[in-house]
Chains A and B, each alone.
Chain A
Amino acid sequence: GNSVTQMEGPVTLSEEAFLTINCTYTATGYPSLFWYVQYPGEGLQLLLKATKADDKGSNKGFEATYRKETTSFHLEKGSVQVSDSAVYFCALSGQGAQKLVFGQGTRLTINP
């Protein structure tokens, strides 16, 4: 079945550092890929998405590129801020299926 494997956390960085959170997936067909962010005590918010190979999703300085050859969708940001501290989830929805399959989440803490 479909699955998502995420870089294990927690990850702690200093403000303005470069961020990469790795995400790889296993799926049949052509899934859509997502990054969600969860702030403390809140629900998930969609951060960015990509629906086909080589698409790049971007939002709020975050980027991720759908790489079919490596089955990856790594999240990057060039300069993180304290306000980026949250839990980040990589997810996919399989072709023809609506349910989301999530990775285990990566807790990110940014220190000033």
Chain B
Amino acid sequence: NAGVMQNPRHLVRRRGQEARLRCSPMKGHSHVYWYRQLPEEGLKFMVYLQKENIIDESGMPKERFSAEFPKEGPSILRIQQVVRGDSAAYFCASSPDIYNEQFFGPGTRLTVL
């Protein structure tokens, strides 16, 4: 059973461009979580999604950030008009239901020039 897949692993964008981060959960997992890790800090929750629904987006910045988890395909975290402060590692996690542990992907490291 393949683990959580994230791509790309590394992404470089210039200020003002868009960044799209993809997350494919483990097989059989319908719950996806996104976290952001700033340099030398812990992970901060951003958003929790189930198929086609956003359940909790309390950690998402109000502007420029959006997330989706369509019926088919990976979950996408989209950052519009990136700024240097968006440079971070973005981790996706998945779980089969609300009772079980979250499994983390290897992360996407975003660098904004």
A-side interface residues toward B, CB under 8 Å? 4, 6, 34, 36, 41-46, 49, 89, 97-105
Contacts and interface: CB of A to CB of B under 8 A. Distances in A.
Interface of B: 4, 6, 31, 33, 35, 41-45, 48, 55-56, 58-59, 91, 93, 95, 98, 101-107
15 contacts: A34-B101, A41-B106, A42-B106, A43-B4, A43-B91, A43-B104, A43-B105, A44-B91, A44-B104, A89-B43, A97-B56, A98-B56, A99-B33, A100-B45, A103-B42
**Shortest 6 CB-CB distances between A and B: which pairs?**
A102-B42, A43-B104, A99-B45, A44-B104, A43-B106, A104-B42
Nearest to B97: A98
B42 A89 contact: yes
| Chain B contact residues: helix, strand, loop or mixed | strand
A49 B43 contact: no
A105 B43 CA distance: 9
A100 B102 contact: yes
A102 B106 contact: no
A75 to B, nearest CB: 15
A91 B59 CA distance: 16
Contacts of B33: 98-100
